[in-house]
Amino acid sequence: MSIQTAIVTGANSGMGLATTIELAKQGYQVIMACRSEKRGQEALHRALHQSGSSRIELMLCDLGSLDSIRQFARRFREQHDQLDVLVNNAGVVMIKRKETSDGFEQSIGINHLGHFLLTLLLIEPLKAAKQGRIVNVSSGAYKVGKIHFDDPHFHKGYNPIKGYAQSKLANVYFTRSLARRLAGTSVTANCLHPGAVGTSIGVNRSTGFGTRIMAFASKLPFFLTPEEGARTAIYLATSPDVAGVTGQYFYQQKQEQLKPHALDDAAAEQLWTWSEEQVGLQPDERL
> So where are the chain's domains?
5-195+230-281
Q: pLDDT value at position 196?
A: 83
Q: pLDDT value at position 35?
A: 97
Q: pLDDT value at position 211?
A: 41
**pLDDT tier, 37 (very low <50, low <70, confident <90, very high otherwise):** very high
Write the pLDDT tens digit of every residue in 202-254.
434 444 444 444 444 444 445 789 999 999 999 999 999 999 999 999 999 99
5-195+230-281: in CATH 3.40.50.720: yes
Write the pLDDT tens digit of every residue in 132-173.
999 999 999 999 999 999 999 999 999 999 999 999 999 999
Which of 28, 164, 173, 235 is labelled catalytic? 164
**pLDDT tier, 1 (very low <50, low <70, confident <90, very high otherwise):** low
> What share of the chain in percent tops pLDDT 90?
89
Q: pLDDT value at position 2?
A: 83
Write the pLDDT tens digit of every residue in 90-136.
999 999 999 999 999 999 999 999 999 999 999 999 999 999 999 99
Rounded to whole angstroms, how far apart are CA atoms 157 and 40? 34
Q: Tell me if 44 sits within 8 A of 13, measured CB to CB.
A: no
Rounded to whole angstroms, how far apart are CA atoms 188 and 183? 8
Instruction: Determine the distance from the C-alpha atom of residue 221 to the mean position of all C-alpha atoms in its chain, rounded to a whole number.
Output: 26
* Active-site residue flag, 164: yes
Rounded to 5 degrees, φ, ψ at 257 are -75, 130
Burial group, residue 109, by CB count within 10 angstroms (0-12, 13-18, 19+): buried
Write the pLDDT tens digit of every residue in 176-204.
999 999 999 999 999 999 998 754 444 34
pTM of the model: 0.93
Between 71 and 204, the more confident residue is 71
**Rg over CA atoms, the chain:** 17
